[in-house]
């Protein structure tokens, strides 16, 4: 490891306040990029499952009531 | 050969194969990203001219490289969907746009932050930063055009035309911005040549570039899977998946 | 009546567009008035010092020309899309990209050409040296033609949308940037006494490329907009 102490790693001779935000923003954006499609996928699936369930119960009750 | 292309056009097959690829690629990508960042930040010596601030290179350059490559992926997918009417190419194009825009944003933000210790200002109208900004505008244009159409099939085609026009223009824009900058280059700003990079700094950089390419691929595949489910939500194979996975 | 030959058809189309424009002179005057007004804004914003204005003049004139071109390009296909004649044009046997070229030529003749011819007046108001006037006119003649062609792409893609106005600027302004760079650089070079020929040659090269490729993109865009 290049840095002697945790303190040195954090400050990086005064450049820490530039390096760390750059990495932080990068990580935040990457995380958002990865999470957004996962959430979208599970939302679509949940919606579809709900629709399927409702369609199923509607056809079930319809079958009981009329035939 | 042809059966492979036919399979590529089949949504359930594409959905399944993207899932298989992701199961392997996503962990590898994350390990490479984290490993490359730790390598770059902790285990390399600082640049003798720029000091520690140069460590931003490990996210700045990969993001910029992949943002540009992503535009070509998007435009080529657009061309494929226009010429051969393969709907899946349309899905690729739609999935690539937000990822590329986000990477361009990362490149711009880290570039600005890097500029402060290096050049003393947050923003320099440097050739590369300016072209990256224009690239971000091109991405945003494609996204905005897609959202403006109500008819999503027409939206895909319109975006394909626009991204092709952009692809023809990108080299022209890059060359002219480059030339414009060399004309106006302020004397106070000096550049450290990138060709003289030390191997100990180069290897983590190469790892990060590879990791960002993998990240782009992962995000592309994940976006495609979500998009496929939404587009094909009336078909049997999606209903089967929904019945299995949607209960959670 | 026999169907007209393709070239004849384009000339007829061009004449029709010009005739339509002549009937509404205010539409021709609007971009020129806009150009004038924005030029007036710059001395008000930057201060009336003649040497300062002169140093900004190439950029100011070019940016203003670019903006007035942008504002008019939205309307190139609008009225013909609304009344359905664009649909007829797509069904016509003549190739659509040539017809699109006729539309764009009419647009350039009624905006870019007039703007370029009028620009020396405003250049003198901004204290641009007289030696740069010819370069300014030539660069605007070449450059606004490229702008009209690129603007046509944006117009064709957004003509079917209700809120196209703002969107079109987002779509085509990035594409305008190389033209702006070389256009203002040509004038700048002429001001400093350097040869401006190379810049004009590059603008000419851009125009050739745009004439060859933009009509294809415009035709594709029009087809998509009509289908949507």
Tokens representing residue C169 in the block: 């600027």
| pLDDT band at A63; cut points 50, 70, 90 | low
Q: What pLDDT, on a 0 to 100 scale, did the predictor assign at position C209?
A: 93
Q: What pLDDT, on a 0 to 100 scale, did the predictor assign at position B193?
A: 47
Q: List pLDDT tens digits, range B1-51.
A: 566 666 667 888 888 888 899 999 999 999 999 999 988 888 877 776 777
Q: Among A6, A21, A26, which would you mutate to test the B interface (most chain B Cβ atoms within 10 Å of its Cβ)?
A: A26
Q: Among A6, A21, A33, which would you mutate to test the B interface (most chain B Cβ atoms within 10 Å of its Cβ)?
A: A33
Across A14-28, B113-127, B147-161, least confident range = B113-127
Cβ(C190)–Cβ(C132) below 8 Å: yes
Across residues C25-50, what is the average pLDDT?
87
Query: How do the domains of chain C map onto residue ranges?
Result: 6-227
Residue B128's CB: how many other CB atoms inside 10 A?
17
Across residues A5-20, what is the average pLDDT?
77
| B137, B150, B180: residue with CB nearest C181 | B180
Which chain B residues contact residue C213 at CB under 8 A?
168
Q: What pLDDT, on a 0 to 100 scale, did the predictor assign at position A67?
A: 47
Average pLDDT along chain C: 88
More confidently predicted of B193 and C30: C30
Q: What pLDDT, on a 0 to 100 scale, did the predictor assign at position C7?
A: 79
Across residues A15-41, what is the average pLDDT?
89
Q: What pLDDT, on a 0 to 100 scale, did the predictor assign at position B55?
A: 83
Kindly provide the b/e burial profile for residues C21-50, where b requires at least 16 CB atoms within 10 angstroms of the residue's own CB. beeeeeeeebbbebbbebbeebbeeeeeee
Nearest CA of chain B to the CA of A42: how many Å? Answer: 7
Cβ pair C181:B144 closer than 8 A? no
Average pLDDT along chain B: 84
Q: What is the 3-state secondary structure (H, E, C) of C199-220?
A: HHHHHHHHHHHHHHHHHHHHHH
Q: List pLDDT tens digits, range B44-85.
A: 777 767 777 788 888 898 999 999 999 999 999 999 988 888
End-to-end C-alpha distance for chain A, whole angstroms: 77
Cβ(C94)–Cβ(C125) below 8 Å: no
What is the DSSP secondary structure assignment for residue C18, as one 8-state letter? H
Q: What is the pTM of this model?
A: 0.88
Cβ(C58)–Cβ(C191) below 8 Å: yes
Q: What pLDDT, on a 0 to 100 scale, did the predictor assign at position C215?
A: 93
| pLDDT band at A1; cut points 50, 70, 90 | low
CA distances from C30 to C27, C33, C37, C62, C111 (A): 5, 5, 10, 17, 9
| pLDDT band at B246; cut points 50, 70, 90 | low
Tokens representing residue B170 in the block: 């990108």
Which chain A residues contact residue B39 at CB under 8 A?
none
State yes or no: chains A and C have 3 or more CB pairs below 8 A: no
Cα(B110)–Cα(B135) distance, integer angstroms: 16
Q: What pLDDT, on a 0 to 100 scale, did the predictor assign at position B179?
A: 84
Examine the pLDDT at C139 and tell me if it is beyond 80. Answer: yes
Examine the pLDDT at C192 and tell me if it is beyond 90. Answer: no
Across B191-200, C21-30, C207-216, least confident range = B191-200
* Residue of chain C minimizing CA distance to B163: C171
Examine the pLDDT at C84 and tell me if it is beyond 80. Answer: yes
Q: What pLDDT, on a 0 to 100 scale, did the predictor assign at position B89?
A: 87
């Amino acid at each position: 490891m290049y840095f002697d102490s945790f303190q040195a790693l954090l400050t990086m001779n005064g450049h820490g306040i530039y390096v760390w935000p750059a990495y932080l923003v990068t990580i935040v954006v990457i995380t958002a990029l990865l999470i957004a499609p996962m959430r979208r996928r599970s939302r679509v699936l949940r919606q579809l499952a709900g629709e399927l369930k409702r369609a199923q119960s509607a056809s079930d009750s319809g079958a009981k009531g009329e035939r | 050969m042809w059966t492979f292309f036919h399979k590529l056009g089949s949504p359930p097959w594409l959905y399944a194969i993207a899932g298989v690829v992701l199961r392997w690629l996503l962990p590898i990508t994350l390990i490479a990203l984290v490993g490359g960042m730790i390598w770059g930040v902790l285990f390399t010596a600082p640049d003798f001219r720029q000091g520690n601030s140069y460590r931003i290179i490990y996210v700045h350059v990969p993001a910029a490289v992949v943002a540009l490559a992503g535009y070509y992926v998007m435009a080529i997918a657009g061309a494929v969907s226009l010429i051969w009417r393969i709907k899946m190419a349309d899905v690729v194009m739609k999935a690539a746009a937000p990822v590329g825009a986000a990477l361009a944003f990362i490149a711009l933000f880290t570039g600005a932050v890097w500029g402060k210790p290096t050049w003393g200002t947050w923003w320099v109208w440097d050739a590369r930063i300016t072209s990256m900004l224009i690239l971000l505008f091109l991405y945003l244009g494609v996204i905005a055009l897609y959202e403006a159409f109500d008819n999503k099939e027409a939206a895909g085609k319109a975006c394909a035309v626009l991204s092709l026009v952009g692809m023809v223009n990108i080299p022209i824009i890059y060359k002219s911005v480059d030339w414009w900058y060399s004309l106006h280059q302020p004397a106070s700003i000096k550049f450290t040549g990138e060709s003289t990079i030390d191997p100990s700094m180069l290897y983590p950089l190469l790892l990060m570039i590879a990791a960002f390419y993998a990240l782009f691929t992962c995000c592309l595949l994940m976006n495609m899977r979500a998009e496929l489910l939404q587009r094909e939500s009336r078909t049997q194979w999606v209903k089967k998946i929904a019945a299995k996975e949607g209960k959670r | 009546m026999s169907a007209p030959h393709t070239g004849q058809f384009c000339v007829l189309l061009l004449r029709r567009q010009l005739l339509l424009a002549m009937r509404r002179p205010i539409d021709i005057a609007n971009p020129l008035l806009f150009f004038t007004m924005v030029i007036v804004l710059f001395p008000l914003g930057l201060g009336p010092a003649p040497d300062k204005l002169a140093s900004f003049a190439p950029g100011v004139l070019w940016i203003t020309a670019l903006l007035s071109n942008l504002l008019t390009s939205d309307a190139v296909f609008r009225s013909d899309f609304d009344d359905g004649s664009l649909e007829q044009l797509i069904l016509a046997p003549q190739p659509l990209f040539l017809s699109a070229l006729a539309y764009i030529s009419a647009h350039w003749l009624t905006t870019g050409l007039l703007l370029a011819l009028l620009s020396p007046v405003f250049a003198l108001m901004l204290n641009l040296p007289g030696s740069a006037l010819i370069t300014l006119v030539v660069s605007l003649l070449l450059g606004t033609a490229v702008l009209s062609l690129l603007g046509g792409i944006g117009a064709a893609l957004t003509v079917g949308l209700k809120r196209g106005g703002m969107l079109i600027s987002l779509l085509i302004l990035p594409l305008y940037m190389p033209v702006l760079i070389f256009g203002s650089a040509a004038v700048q070079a002429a001001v400093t006494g350097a040869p401006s020929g190379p810049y004009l040659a590059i603008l000419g090269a851009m125009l050739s490329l745009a004439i060859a490729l933009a009509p294809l993109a415009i035709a594709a865009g029009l087809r998509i907009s009509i289908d949507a």
